[in-house]
Amino acid sequence: MSALFDLTGRVAFVTGAASGLGHAMAEGFAEHGALVVMADMDEAGLAKAAERLTLRNLSVETQRLDVRDAASVRLAIAEAARRHGRLDVVCANAGVTGGAPISDEAGHIENISLDTWNNVIAVNQTGVFVTLQAAAAVMKPQGFGRIIVTASISGMRVSDVSGYPYTVTKAAVIHLVHLAAVELAPYGILVNGVAPGPFMTNIAGGRMFTDAERVKSMGASTLLNRVAHPNELKGLALLLASDAGSFITGQVIPIDGGSTAK
């Protein structure tokens, strides 16, 4: 059974790997034998995150990368594949919040600045699109690949706690997963998404989790009455990256403590 989840000899590339969910996925893959290229625009955070893993003798490399820079994304992914002779798993995970929730006046539609809108789209939507383009370019010729997009339950149904730009980008990448899965299936490339509910990360500069009342109310939105630790994403990501997930494609799987069941 454990062979199904073994990533020995596989190479993974994870964006937004310095922190939170990207870091947890990178760690989970490395713990199961993969060599992981950890990419992030936060160079100092990335160095620290990678050091923690190399101290445990896990195989990781770092790649400074801003996913808003399409040429760099293409180059970094192509170079990772060239260096290692293959690229098995790509996680398009880097993402930002932006724009107040619609429950705040600042989040009302007439108050969202185009700068905020454009930046969230550049990272969460165009950044994911370009990462998938680059992944497909190396995976098509090798006839194998696993692509995992970090969406959000905010992209599945609207709520008054997520703002316009974030919600819209997460809905867009869910459709991107479906479309790319259709196109890439004949090449042996499986494309899936994870749709997290509330996870305790540094998203929004960590501000979302400094207020105990807010954390409590985010927890109360789940059936389990709590927010999740980033490590709780590892199992689902490993399923989608490994042979255990060989018949799963075109799915966006909520991992949300049951929030979307209500």
Ligand X SMILES: NC(=O)c1ccc[n+]([C@@H]2O[C@H](COP(=O)([O-])OP(=O)(O)OC[C@H]3O[C@@H](n4cnc5c(N)ncnc54)[C@H](O)[C@@H]3O)[C@@H](O)[C@H]2O)c1
Mind telling me the catalytic residues? Answer: 166
Kindly state whether residue 6 participates in binding ligand X, applying the rule CB under 6 A. Answer: no
Reported as half-sphere exposure (CB side, CA atoms, 13 A), residue 208 has a value of 19
Contact yes or no for 122/65 (Cβ under 8 A)? no
Phi, psi of 123 (to 5 degrees): -85, -55
Kindly state whether residue 232 participates in binding ligand X, applying the rule CB under 6 A. Answer: no
Which CB atom, from 42 or from 86, has the smaller least distance to ligand X? 42
Q: Which of 123, 147, 171, 191 binds ligand X (CB under 6 A)?
A: 123
Q: Kindly indicate which of the ranges 52-60, 88-96, 105-113, 241-249 contains the residues binding ligand X, using the contact rule CB under 6 A.
A: 88-96
Contact yes or no for 39/17 (Cβ under 8 A)? yes
Q: Which of 7, 41, 81, 136 binds ligand X (CB under 6 A)?
A: 41
Kindly state whether residue 21 participates in binding ligand X, applying the rule CB under 6 A. Answer: yes
Q: Which of 89, 176, 199, 252 binds ligand X (CB under 6 A)?
A: 199
Kindly state whether residue 67 participates in binding ligand X, applying the rule CB under 6 A. Answer: yes
Task: State in Å, rounded, how far the first CA of the chain is from the last one.
Answer: 33
Name the minimum Å distance from CB 1 to ligand X: 29
Which CB atom, from 137 or from 215, has the smaller least distance to ligand X? 215
Kindly state whether residue 150 participates in binding ligand X, applying the rule CB under 6 A. Answer: yes
List alpha helices for 106-211, DSSP H.
114-120, 127-142, 164-184
Q: Kindly indicate which of the ranges 19-27, 79-87, 174-182, 235-243 contains the residues binding ligand X, using the contact rule CB under 6 A.
A: 19-27
Kindly state whether residue 62 participates in binding ligand X, applying the rule CB under 6 A. Answer: no
Total residues in contact with ligand X, by rule CB under 6 A: 29
Best CA proximity match to 96, nearest among 8, 240, 10, 201: 201
Question: Strands 35-40 and 60-64: what pairing?
Answer: parallel
Phi, psi of 36 (to 5 degrees): -115, 125
Rounded to 5, what percent of the chain is helix, strand, coil?
A: 55, 15, 30
Q: Kindly indicate which of the ranges 1-9, 174-182, 191-199, 244-252 contains the residues binding ligand X, using the contact rule CB under 6 A.
A: 191-199
Residues linked to residue 191 through DSSP beta bridges, in sequence order = 147
Which CB atom, from 158 or from 185, has the smaller least distance to ligand X? 158
Q: For the stretch 9-39, what's the b/e string if a residue is b when 16 or more beta carbons lie within 10 angstroms of its beta carbon?
A: ebbbbbbbbbbbbbbbbbbbbbebebbbbbb
Name the minimum Å distance from CB 238 to ligand X: 17
Name the minimum Å distance from CB 171 to ligand X: 12
Q: How far apart are CA 181 and CA 175, in angstroms?
A: 10
Kindly state whether residue 165 participates in binding ligand X, applying the rule CB under 6 A. Answer: no
Binding region for ligand X (CB under 6 A): 15-16, 18-22, 40-42, 45, 65-68, 93-96, 123, 127, 150, 152, 196, 198-199, 201-203
